[in-house]
Amino acid sequence: MRRFLTTFGLLALAAPAAAAPSGQAGVGVSTGTYGIGGHAVYVVSPALQVGSQIGLGFVGDTAVIALAPYGKFHFGEVGPLAPFAFARLDVLRGSWSGYGSSGSDVAIDLAAGIGGEYYTKDDFGVFGALTVFDLDFDSGDIAFGMFAPTVGIEWFFGG
């Protein structure tokens, strides 16, 4: 898997850069802390994207379903890379211990972070992000740092 991601990343960076899309809907796939999942996104403007991730992961022998609406705020392009900040509300459904309230069926947290997206064409982007803040509503725990790395790809259409 590591070779695939490295090769894919190098190929994406070798492609000519394009501007961020605007007024388009899209779909994507990403992987991170809670496993692999998909997302739907709408580009409100070149600076603002809104969407929701949906994923399925496993904690031990328990399946966890994740729904995570988010906003992604682009700061403009720095060369071929478009840096961004994001805010996301994570809603996780499953019965497990070790996250939030022990044995809870639903865990909700608010996360924020930073990342960058590289648009290889007007309708395709490759991104990576790190969470830097996480507030767990069940336990009240607050985490700061650089954790929960995420990488993904997005396809945009309708523009």
**Structural tokens at position 142:** 């607050």
Q: Which CATH class is domain 2-157?
A: mainly beta
Can you give the pLDDT at residue 100?
Answer: 46
CA 45 to CA 22: how far, in whole Å?
Answer: 5
CA 85 to CA 35: how far, in whole Å?
Answer: 21
Q: How confident is residue 33, by pLDDT bands cut at 50, 70 and 90? A: low
Q: How confident is residue 103, by pLDDT bands cut at 50, 70 and 90? A: low
Can you give the pLDDT at residue 5?
Answer: 44
Q: How confident is residue 102, by pLDDT bands cut at 50, 70 and 90? A: low
| Average pLDDT value for residue range 101-120 | 84
Can you give the pLDDT at residue 34?
Answer: 59
- How many CB atoms within 10 Å of residue 87? 14
CA 8 to CA 101: how far, in whole Å?
Answer: 39
Residue 87 has pLDDT above 90, yes or no: yes
Per-domain boundaries in the chain: 2-157
Q: Is the model more confident about 122 or about 148? A: 148
| Average pLDDT value for residue range 70-90 | 89
CA 36 to CA 30: how far, in whole Å?
Answer: 6
CA 148 to CA 159: how far, in whole Å?
Answer: 32
